[in-house]
Structure 1
Amino acid sequence: MVKARQRIWIGLMMLLLILIVLGGCSKATESPQSESKSNSETDTKIIKTVDGNVEIPANPQRIVTQGYLANFLVFDVKPVGAPYWEMESPYTMELSEGITDIGQIDGGSVEKILSLKPDLIVTVGGDEKLNEQFRKIAPTLVIPYGTYHEVHDEMRAFGEILGKEKEAEEWLKEFDKKVAKAKDSIKGLIREGTTFSLMGPFGKDFYVYGDGVNRGGQAIYQQLGLTPPKLVRKDLIEPKINALSISQEKIADYAGDYIFLDISGEAEFDENDPVWSTIDAVKNNKVFYLNPERFWPYDPIAVESQVEEIAKMLKNHLEQEK
């Protein structure tokens, strides 16, 4: 069961990497925004997207989503269709009953989506020819992967799409309280100047991650406010780069006093290799292993949980160090 889920998430990661490349070749990313006006006669509203203004139902009832399932579930809105890999997330699995699996984000999903008779499609896009087919079915919002770099922006954007701005603010208020509580739980345990890295092997490559959508970066750096090494800040966080492939020889340059490690994608990684085993954090048993199933998702529900999990990991470890 675990291997099967890992294969699903490996497939998801490869798909998202493809979407990043395709998205980089298309229009610049722009967060969808509502013009804050509705046409009372037709009960629609205009949302600004990377494709320009898109007219959508003011109160959509039959939503199909590709890549944003949790963003609807967090508002207690259940789409009629979503890809199976989104419904396999530990954060959405119990909430996905009754949602139709539309398969992968490819041409094979078009007929299935058409049969669901959606009144709104929200997709990470990446394939403009596919997006054109979606637009013929229903109003389509293309929100490229990585559009949102922070939970508050993401919740407010989907609050606008759904006409649930008030609910978004209420959720964020509770979210901020949970973040504050998590930060308080480790306050005083972390010495000033202590740095934390987020990195790991994927396939044949080794990556270091910033404070964006990869591997819990939002929870670690943005919400808990843990300090990154100088190179991580310079090469990833400041330029808003989510992930950077580095050579094995460069790992030590990006390693912090503590390391959050993700090993996934059938990684070819030897933890006994001197390049890795001689890093101070590794030698001093200051490496936290992340569960890919829980730290690959990057939606608001996931980030909320990741904040609490990271704080708990640190609290348990740091209290033992004292």
Structure 2
Amino acid sequence: MTKLNRKFWGAILIALFLVVLSGCGGTGQSTHSESASNTAAATNSGGTDQAAKDKSSRTEEKLASDAEQDTRIVSTVHGDVEIPAHPQRIVTQGYLANFLALGIKPVGAPYWELESPYVKSLSAGIEDIGQIDGGSVEKMLSLNPDLIVTVGGDEKLNEQYRKIAPTIVIPYGTYHEVHVEMKAFGAMIGKEMEAEEWLAVFDQKVKKAKASIQGLVKEGTTFSIMGPFGKDFYIYGDTVNRGGQAIHQQLGLTPTDKVRKDLINKKINALSISQEKMADYAGDYIFLDISGGAEFDENSPIWASLDAVKNNRVFKLDGDRFWPYDPIAVQSQVEEVAAMIQERQGTTK
């Protein structure tokens, strides 16, 4: 992940922490022409006028139905938004992987999404629109989108986006679970079946990953995700941070009671604590993330006193791979975490 990429994610996460702590537009002309042709043929043949009228009536009904579905209404945090029923030129900020999972390639996305190791191979031909700032407006305009989907954050920018194309704002952290997220996106753009198909494959991969570590971890063993970010130390829950969905939600690895009580039950993504309180949240296994330019002394007495540290049960997370939290990333993280546990236990299945 580039420095700029980490800085961007850092900016988003810092903002989050502060909150925590305080079709197509077709006209149907071809169908109409077919109707006219069929009607003329029926009339010329004689004795089939009624059949022609019936077919013409059905065609007109279809045309009316298609016209009604040229757009759809999507409910958002900023009210209902009318969007194309089948958008063709989507620009996204924060949800590139969601569209790619549904078989849709947007025309534009920020560089920090294009560089994600989970979607890089799928991103050829997608234009880099830069950061979420004023410069992105001009780039979006040049791409002539018919739909913009963004994490938002700056309402002044959102207003400029709305002047370019219908804009759906889905704030960072809106979705905390893969199935809910994929179904929501499928419904939004008329890809419900594709969403269900993708989730079926996802569920099979999760099932296989869980089976691969069955028996390697004793029942009741606890896992926690923690680490320094900048000048603070954080504990993470089971949502958008540091592989939480893969570790706790999908693989079902048990969080500590304190993590469950102070974060998961309260739907808090991250919690800043003093290092003196690390032992209160530390599990039998720890997934450690060191990021945001943090300096962390792994030889400090507090850290070294933790059971997970003393028993070689600490997994260091690669930020490039465990900062992303989109459905494609979670799917891969499930497999990667299972592989970590197998390797640590000296067993592969």
Same fold, TM exceeding 0.5? yes
How many Å apart are 1:124 and its aligned residue?
Answer: 0.3
The 8 Å contact of residues 17 and 271 in structure 2, kept in 1 or not, is answered as: no
> Match for residue 296 of structure 2?
269
The one of 181, 184, 187 aligned to 1:157: 184
How many Å apart are 1:11 and its aligned residue?
Answer: 2.5
1:238 pairs with 2:265: yes
The 8 Å contact of residues 118 and 138 in structure 1, kept in 2 or not, is answered as: yes
SS at 2:86 equivalent: coil
SS at 1:240 equivalent: coil
The one of 242, 247, 251 aligned to 1:220: 247
Fraction of identical pairs, as percent = 71
How many Å apart are 1:130 and its aligned residue?
Answer: 0.9
> Match for residue 327 of structure 2?
300
Structure 2: 5+ residue stretches without partners: 23-64
Written as runs of structure 1 = structure 2, the 5 A alignment for 1:111-130 is 111-130=138-157
The one of 91, 98, 119 aligned to 1:92: 119
> Match for residue 31 of structure 1?
none
How many Å apart are 1:40 and its aligned residue?
Answer: 2.6
> Match for residue 110 of structure 1?
137
Query: How many angstroms apart in 2 are the aligned matches of 1:168 and 1:239?
Result: 29
Query: How many angstroms apart in 2 are the aligned matches of 1:170 and 1:44?
Result: 24
1:255 pairs with 2:282: yes
How many Å apart are 1:17 and its aligned residue?
Answer: 3.2
> Match for residue 215 of structure 2?
188
How many Å apart are 1:42 and its aligned residue?
Answer: 6.3
The 8 Å contact of residues 81 and 113 in structure 1, kept in 2 or not, is answered as: yes
Structure 1: 5+ residue stretches without partners: 26-37
Query: How many angstroms apart in 1 are the aligned matches of 2:21 and 2:143?
Result: 31
TM-score, structure 1 normalization: 0.91
Q: State the aligned residue count.
A: 305
The 8 Å contact of residues 22 and 127 in structure 1, kept in 2 or not, is answered as: no
The 8 Å contact of residues 75 and 81 in structure 2, kept in 1 or not, is answered as: yes
How many Å apart are 1:6 and its aligned residue?
Answer: 4.7
How many Å apart are 1:39 and its aligned residue?
Answer: 7.1
AA in 2 matched with 1:225? G
1:310 pairs with 2:337: yes
SS at 1:40 equivalent: helix
The 8 Å contact of residues 63 and 120 in structure 1, kept in 2 or not, is answered as: yes
Query: How many angstroms apart in 1 are the aligned matches of 2:164 and 2:290?
Result: 40
CA displacement 1:142-174 (0-9 Å, x = unmatched)? 000000010001100111122110010011111
Asked which structure has the greater CA Rg, the reply is: 2
AA in 1 matched with 2:269? N
> Match for residue 8 of structure 1?
5
AA in 1 matched with 2:164? I
> Match for residue 74 of structure 1?
101
Written as runs of structure 1 = structure 2, the 5 A alignment for 1:15-30 is 15-18=12-15
Cα–Cα, structure 1 residues 24 and 209, in superposed 2: closer, same or farther, change >3 Å?
closer
SS at 2:331 equivalent: helix
AA in 1 matched with 2:215? G
Query: How many angstroms apart in 2 are the aligned matches of 1:206 and 1:22?
Result: 16
Cα–Cα, structure 1 residues 160 and 42, in superposed 2: closer, same or farther, change >3 Å?
closer
Written as runs of structure 1 = structure 2, the 5 A alignment for 1:15-54 is 15-18=12-15, 40-41=67-68, 43-54=70-81
Structure with more helix by fraction: 2
AA in 2 matched with 1:12? W
When the two chains are superposed, the root-mean-square deviation of aligned CA atoms in Å is 1.9
Query: How many angstroms apart in 1 are the aligned matches of 2:240 and 2:97?
Result: 14
Written as runs of structure 1 = structure 2, the 5 A alignment for 1:192-211 is 192-211=219-238
Query: How many angstroms apart in 1 are the aligned matches of 2:258 and 2:150?
Result: 34
SS at 1:245 equivalent: strand
How many Å apart are 1:22 and its aligned residue?
Answer: 7.7
How many Å apart are 1:313 and its aligned residue?
Answer: 0.7
| Large movers: runs of 4+ above 4 Å | 19-25
Query: How many angstroms apart in 2 are the aligned matches of 1:21 and 1:52?
Result: 25
CA displacement 1:194-230 (0-9 Å, x = unmatched)? 1001111111111110000100000000000001110
The 8 Å contact of residues 20 and 145 in structure 1, kept in 2 or not, is answered as: no
> Match for residue 30 of structure 1?
none
The 8 Å contact of residues 19 and 125 in structure 1, kept in 2 or not, is answered as: no
